[in-house]
Structure 1
Amino acid sequence: MTTTTTPLPGSTAHTDGGWGRADVPVQTRSERPWSYDPADFGVPTGREVNWKHTPIARLREVLEPADAALEATGVRVETAAVAELLVSGSAVRGEVFRPEDLPAAIAWQRAPEALHVRIPAGEELAEPVRIDLVGEDGAFAAAHVIIEAQPNARATVVVYHSGDARYAQNVEIIVRDGADLAVVSVQRWDDSAVHAASHQARVDRDATLTHIVATLGGGVVRVNPSVELAGSGAAGRLYGLSFADSGQHFESQVYLHHKGPHTVGDVLYKGALQGESARSVWIGDVLIGRDAVGTDSYEANRNLVLTDGARADSIPNLEIETGDIVGAGHASATGRFDDEQLFYLQARGIDEAEARRLVVLGFLSEIVQRIGVADLESELTAAIERELAEGGAL
């Protein structure tokens, strides 16, 4: 396992995983160790800093696959002709991605071929590229997906998950100089599915990445995006929405690293929850590095709790290593319906149930409308309406 420092002789690891020096906890998000070997991580106990909000017991089939000799093929892949398979050791695979937790290392090891979607230099795709990943029979699956936008390319790639699986997944995103790429990850799994994903991206000079996570289905879904704004003038827009029902756990740990100068970051995640034991977790880490002068960055998380028994955890973090920035900030808010909004709508003749529906739709639509794919936006809006109608929160 690669770490930033050498452990002291005779020291023992801290319960949060022993990041950095083995006798002290991790001090910054950037110090987290990495390894391609699952054995270097060990099975988490739930006390580690990056696992303490996660229901470990419900992830066992992803953290400890029953038989390492079995092919991890419980998810069927349907995609466009622009995709190709890369064998392990290919140059592009691993250019950006380094496993930082056990599911990522398992996915690296158990997926010898990577699905590679490459947008050629200078091309602008009028239609989105769609990758459908369909879980079959709740079986274990592992995957490594590479999405590469070559210089000055423009495209939208939709990664759409459905069915039932125990899924360990890595998504590696490379946005080369001057490219403009949107990646939309949609989770519409069956209620019994378990999905642990690591998305890692690098954005080069004058390039832009829009990364959107939309989670409306699954039992436990943990999608963790990590984006490095490496080149001068790079921009990262990280958005997310979720709607958790009773028994569902939806989680995102977001990391945005401003590494190059004059970079711009915008992070906004929104979640709605209804039903007993509905749970969402959002952890946002922004690091403005010592060379990231002229940076402008903001992160926010908003949660709307619709019923008793639902819980949203929200933890924003901001590290700044240079004083020469345009601006930086973070915010978090979790609450119930806004009484003033409801009163405003009811005063105009709208009954209470319809007023509540409109408030929730308006709350989540801010993210839906940033997807930029009309059919998908309509589908997700309809799915949110069904969640509201079936959940009884209104």
Structure 2
Amino acid sequence: MTSTAMPTAEQHGFRPHSDGAFVPVQTRSERFRSVNVEDFAPVTGREHEWKLSPVAAFADLTGGELDGSRLEIETTDAAGVDVSWIARDDARIGRAGIPEERAAANAWSSFGEALLVSVSGEDEKVVAVTRHDLGVAPRAAHTVIEAAPNSRGLVVLRGTGDARLSENVEIVVGEGASLTVVSLQEWSDDAVHLASHFARLGRDSFLKHIVVSLGGNVVRVNPSTHLAEQGSDVEALGLYFADAGQHLEQQVFVHHDAPHTRSRVTYKGALQGAGARSVWVGDVLIGNSATGTDSYEQNRNLVLTDGTRADSVPNLEIETGDIEGAGHASATGRFDDEQLFYLMARGIREDEARRLVVRGFLGEIVQKIGSPELEARLSAAVEAELEGR
């Protein structure tokens, strides 16, 4: 008689996979990377990085031919900021990171020249780079933003009008520099935008990275930050407002790789209308050499109507026990009835009370941008979203 008291190997799943040997990726840092699109299998939607995305809506960007010619851009002038185009074999390309998925690799394989934004000088300065009406043909782009050691600056990378764009953005922050980068998506209703941002931070440097997604049909902006040297610090912020049928996605990765580094990740979004969808995936990896790390990530979603969906997935990997602290949080919910009651009891109409709650909820992110002019414009844009314009 065969005893079943002890589980068999098959019960534990220790048998060969039906498709052959299969070893899952055990840690975020082990994901495959390449700048060559042919090194990635075609996207099916079952992959871990695509399983929450509407992959059929942008199959041309993940597997088709992309126009990699220069984009039409508009820039503002600022002392200490130089904007130029550089060849794809320039040594300044590839320092911040390389693609982990096929859309980013397709863009990397396709671009002809990269846009270089160089920031220098210790005084504060602001520069805006706008891409407008890129058309409906699939396109590729590559941007490098470089902050010289001890420099200060704010760079706004803005998209408006029509687009079907896959791009990579590299951000290199030099020793002692303080840089703010705002990625602002105000595309037209049918636009599709896939972006991977790679940031590398030098010793005692600071990066404030802000993703604001309001327009577009499908927008997927995935920022990765490498805290590569001691004392580096990142504040990763995000604001999004998904309307009916709109898909807004952010997959955030912070890699603590050096001692005494700090990160704060805060993404907040609102959803209204049938089929409005948001996706937030937050990965924080604290490496075994990252002693003294201080890290926290959170995502908050405010659901304004029925028929919406918000996916929120925080992940935390810790490879050393010698840290100051690490944590994560996620919440998705409707209006706080007590807040509404408080406002309505003071004579405020319900529709106005709801707008006030949303303004306060999203205003935390807007107020941290550091540019009064841009903050005012984004507050007006959020107000327009609430009024359905």
Normalization by structure 1: what TM-score?
Answer: 0.91
**Aligned match of 2:126 in 106, 116, 128?**
128
Q: Aligned partner of 1:199: which letter?
A: H
Structure 2 match to 1:76: 72
Q: Following TM superposition, by how much is the alpha carbon of 1:388 offset from its aligned partner in structure 2, in angstroms?
A: 0.9
- Are positions 1:387 and 2:381 aligned together? no
1:74–1:139 Cα contact (<8 Å) kept: no
1:114 matched residue in structure 2 = 114
Structure 2 match to 1:168: 166
Alignment of 1:8-27 (within 5 A): 23-27=22-26
Distance change (3 Å), C-alpha of 1:276 and 1:185:
same
Is the contact between residue 179 and residue 207 of structure 2 (CA under 8 Å) also seen in structure 1?
Answer: yes
Q: Are the equivalent residues in 2 in contact too, given 1:74–1:140 (CA < 8 A)?
A: no
In structure 1, the partner of 2:193 is 195
Q: Which moved more, 1:349-358 or 1:215-224?
A: 349-358
SS in 2 for 1:157: strand
> 1:220 — aligned with what?
218
Distance 1:190 1:324, change over 3 A: same
CA distance in 2, matches of 1:84, 1:274: 40
State the Cα deviation string for residues 4-58 of structure 1 (Å, max 9, x = none). xxxxxx98979xxxxxxx7122111111101111011122111100100000000
| Aligned pairs (5 A) from 1:12-161 | 23-65=22-64, 67=65, 71-73=67-69, 75-80=71-76, 82-120=82-120, 123-161=121-159
Aligned CA RMSD, in angstroms, stands at 1.7
Structure 1's 322 and 217: CA in aligned 2 closer, same or farther, altered over 3 A?
Answer: same
Contact 2:178 2:205 in 1 (8 A): yes
Q: Secondary structure at the match of 2:274?
A: coil
Partners of 1:352 and 1:13 lie apart in 2 by 57
Aligned to 1:268: 266
Equivalent of residue 323 in structure 2, options 325, 337, 346: 325
The match for 1:343 is 341
Counterpart position of 2:254: 256
Q: Look up the equivalent residue of 1:77 and give its one-letter code.
A: I
Deviation at 1:72, TM superposition (A): 3.2
Decide whether aligned partners of structure 1 residues 12 and 214 sit closer, same or farther in structure 2, where only a CA change above 3 A counts. Answer: farther
Distance in 2 between residues matched to 1:202 and 1:62, nearest whole Å: 26
Higher Cα radius of gyration: 2
Structure 1 runs of 4+ with >4 Å offset: 10-14
User: Shift of residue 164 of structure 1?
Assistant: 0.8
Q: Quick check: 1:376 aligned with 2:374?
A: yes
Contact 1:181 1:210 in 2 (8 A): yes
Which stretch shows the higher mean deviation, 150-159 or 33-42?
A: 33-42
Where does the alignment leave 5 or more consecutive residues of structure 2 unmatched?
1-15
In the alignment, what sits opposite 2:350? 352
Identity of aligned residues (%): 56
Aligned equivalent of 2:240: 242
Matched to 2:43, the amino acid is: P
- Residues 113 and 74 (structure 1), Cα distance of their counterparts in 2 relative to 1, 3 Å cut: closer
Secondary structure at 1:390 match in 2: coil
Deviation at 1:109, TM superposition (A): 1.4
Q: In 2, distance between residues paired with 1:226 and 1:154?
A: 21
Q: 1:74 Cα deviation (Å)?
A: 8.4
The answer as to whether partners of 1:286 and 1:319 remain within 8 angstroms in 2 is yes
Q: Mark the CA change 1:152 to 1:135 in structure 2 (over 3 Å): closer, same or farther.
A: same
The gaps in structure 1 that reach 5 residues or longer are 1-9, 15-21
Q: How far apart, in 1, do the equivalents of 2:40 and 2:324 lie? A: 38
Distance in 2, Cα, partners of 1:361 & 1:213: 17
**1:13–1:24 contact (8 Å) kept in structure 2:** no
Aligned length: 370
1:75 is displaced (CA, Å) by 4.3
CA change 1:280–1:13 in 2 (3 A) is farther
- Following superposition, the deviation at residue 124 of structure 1 comes to 3.0
* Cα deviations by residue, 1:172-227 (Å, 9 ceiling, x for unpaired): 00011100000000000001000010000011110000000000000000000000
CA distance in 1, matches of 2:204, 2:19: 41
What is the Cα deviation at residue 377 of structure 1? 1.0
Deviations 1:330-356 (A, max 9, x none): 000000001111111112221111110
Provide Cα deviations, 1:260-301, integer angstroms capped at 9, x if missing partner.
111110000000000000000000000111111111100000
Give the Cα–Cα distance (whole angstroms) in 2 for the partners of residues 281 and 74 of structure 1: 30
**1:18 aligns to what?**
none
The 3 A distance-change label for structure 1 pair 58 and 336 is: same
Residue of structure 1 in register with 2:3 after alignment? none
For 2:10, the equivalent position in structure 1 comes to none
Which residue does 2:6 correspond to in 1? none
Q: Distance in 2 between matches of 1:218 and 1:125?
A: 35
Distance across 2 between alignment mates of 1:112 and 1:74:
7
Paired with 2:19 and 2:300, the residues of 1 have a C-alpha distance of 35
Tell me, what secondary structure is at the counterpart of 1:192? Answer: coil
SS in 1 for 2:105: helix
Paired position in structure 2 for 1:208: 206
Query: Which of 287, 302, 308 is the aligned partner of 1:310?
Result: 308
